[in-house]
Every structure is written in C-alpha cells, then in structure tokens.
Structure 1
Amino acid sequence: MDWLTIARKLAADPAANSDGIAYPQGYGIERYRKNQGPPSDEALIHAACRDVRTALADRRAELNDDVDELRALEADRLDRLFFVAYKKAVRDQDLAAIDRTLRIMERRARLLGLDMPARTELSGPDGGAVQIESVTADELDALIALTDPAAE
C-alpha cells in the first residue's frame, strides 16, 4: 500500500477515512473534534510515515534484545564445546580435536564480532570516484514507479 492509502485508512474524519468511518484515535482527531476540515493528504502521509518509522524502530529494538540473548546462549554453548575439544587437543595432541577446536574458535569469533572487518573500498567506473547525485522525492517516486511490478 502507498502511504496515502494507509493514512486514509487511519484518518479520524469520515470524509478522509477510506472506510467512511470516524476512527476515534485516527489522524487528525483534533481537527475532527473541532469540526475543522480533514488534514491535507501531505499531513496524512507525514503522520503515517512517522508512525510506521516509530513502530519499525520499536520492533527493531525488541528484535535486537532477542538477538543479544540468543547470541549469549550460543556463546555459552560454543564455550562448552570448546573446552571438550580443547582438552582432547592438548591432552592427546589429536589433530582432529585441534581442527575442531579451531573451528569452534572461528565460529565464536564470528558470532561475537571479534575478527577485524575486511577493508572494502568502493570505486566508480574504471576505478574512478563514485558519482553521487541528489534526487528529489518526486524523482525518487518516479524511479520506484518504474521498477514497481504492482504499478503495471
């Protein structure tokens, strides 16, 4: 759905609401209560974008908390496996146990981000500078419309 469709679905004023109902917590409720006209399409779009961004940020924060807990659990599991393999590698000088110990260490380093990141460099055509252009929102919408299969 586009932003205006979402915003109209959640508008307080039945004149703006796509379902033709008065949504008591909807966008523009203050204007509706004062018997003023509904918010402009631009104001509705702005409100919907703001609320969706806020909801996504909240959800991302929740997921990050869940990921942190899972990462800690996985690190504990890897630690237990590491000590089993490490004892065997050191005590028996078993090459398979040494390889397994190293694999566990590598996995733990990736999980916890302990390895130094690889340096990446971007370049433009023929190794030259990357060209950066600014575009207006209308130009961006036009580009999106060209690539949006639903627009066809």
Structure 2
Amino acid sequence: MGRPDKAARAAIAQRRADAIELRLAGVDWLTVARKLAADPAVNSDRIAYPHGYGVDRYRKGQEPPADEQLINAACKDVRLALKERAADQEDKADELRAIENARLDKLFFVAYRQAVKDNHLPAIDRALRIMERRARLLGLDQPGRTELTGAGGAPIEIATTALDELEALIAISEEAARGSE
C-alpha cells in the first residue's frame, strides 16, 4: 500500500485529533475505537467514519476488525498524534530559541562595545547578564558528566540482596547507631 494522498492524510490527521479529543473527554478506548470505526455496523454512531479504523476491510466488504484490533488502532493513533505534536512543539521551541539568541546578540553587542570601550562597570555587568541568559537558553551551564567507578577505575559490581539480608543489614546499622549514642 502506497502513501496516502493529501486528502487521506488530512482525514487521518482529523481522525487522530478526534481520538485525542475523545480520550481527553474521558472516553474509554473501545468507545473511541468504535466511534472512529469505518464500518457503520461497528461504529457507535452507525455511520461510516471516513478513513476510520478498518476502512480497507469495510471497502472490501470484509468483516470489521475485532474490538481488540480497534482498540490497538485507536491507541496507536493517539500515540502517533501525541508524538507529532511533541515534535511540532520542539520545532517551535527551536525557532523561538533562535529568535531569542539573535536578540541577545544585538543586546550583547551594545553592552560589550560600551564595556570594552569605556570600562563601564554597569555595561560589564549587563554583558555578563546577557551571557548568563544565553548560557541558560542554550543549556551551556549543564553540569559535567560524572562517572562512578570501583577500585582502580574498575566497574562497580552490583549484587542483588535478598530481603532477609537487607533486614539483617538494617538491624546491624540500627544497633551500631544506638551503640554510638
């Protein structure tokens, strides 16, 4: 099966948006799936939802998908739609970061020029604040990577401990704590 045409992609996007809206309204998965099913015999509104779940089977006159298949299709739709929305939001955030970075460039240029030319302390402070803001915006101040190793740089060995062993260790440490009082 080839890639759907523009109209089909729009209908699928609408179906996914409808699925999200229904889930946000608290509708259970099976009801969502049936409301968005292509076959009127399965569709809770008794209509043929365009590009609904099981549309290929409906067009061929085959039996509609089972409830579990409908639920899986609805879950997949919501998961994909949310993933697309998250990607769109990240793209928008990247655009906004670029705009903010360009603004900071302009402001920094003014403050830096005055700070260097006149050794003007308020301009130096302003330039430093702009640099700090840029570092936060771009995530430049993230902590360095920390790696834990065992003796001599060897990997740390992790062993599983049974519940009774843990309880015994806790009891020993509690006794030691009481003894040091």
Q: TM-score, normalised on structure 2?
A: 0.59
CA RMSD of aligned residues (A): 2.1
Q: Helix, strand or coil: the match of 1:16?
A: coil
Q: Residue 115 in 1 paired to residue 141 in 2? A: yes
Structure number with greater Rg is: 2
Equivalent residue, structure 2, for 1:72:
98
**Alpha-carbon displacement from aligned partner over 1:66-120 (angstroms, at most 9, x marks no partner):** 2222211110110110111112222222222121111100110111111123789
5 Å-filtered alignment, 1:2-151, equals 2-117=28-143
**Cα deviation code 1:126-146 (max 9, x no counterpart):** xxxxxxxxxxxxxxxxxxxxx
User: What runs of 5+ residues in structure 1 fail to find an aligned partner?
Assistant: 121-152
2: CA distance between counterparts of 1:80 and 1:48?
A: 48
CA distance in 1, matches of 2:86, 2:42: 31
Write the letter of the residue equivalent to 1:77. Answer: R
TM-superposed deviation, 1:27: 0.7
For 2:60 and 2:112, the matched residues in 1 are separated by: 73
List structure 1 runs of 4+ shifted beyond 4 angstroms.
Answer: none
Once residues 39 and 87 of structure 2 are traced to their aligned partners in structure 1, the CA distance between those partners, rounded to angstroms, is: 33
TM-score, normalised to structure 1, is: 0.69
Unpaired segments ≥5 residues, structure 2: 1-26, 147-181
Give me the identity figure in percent: 71
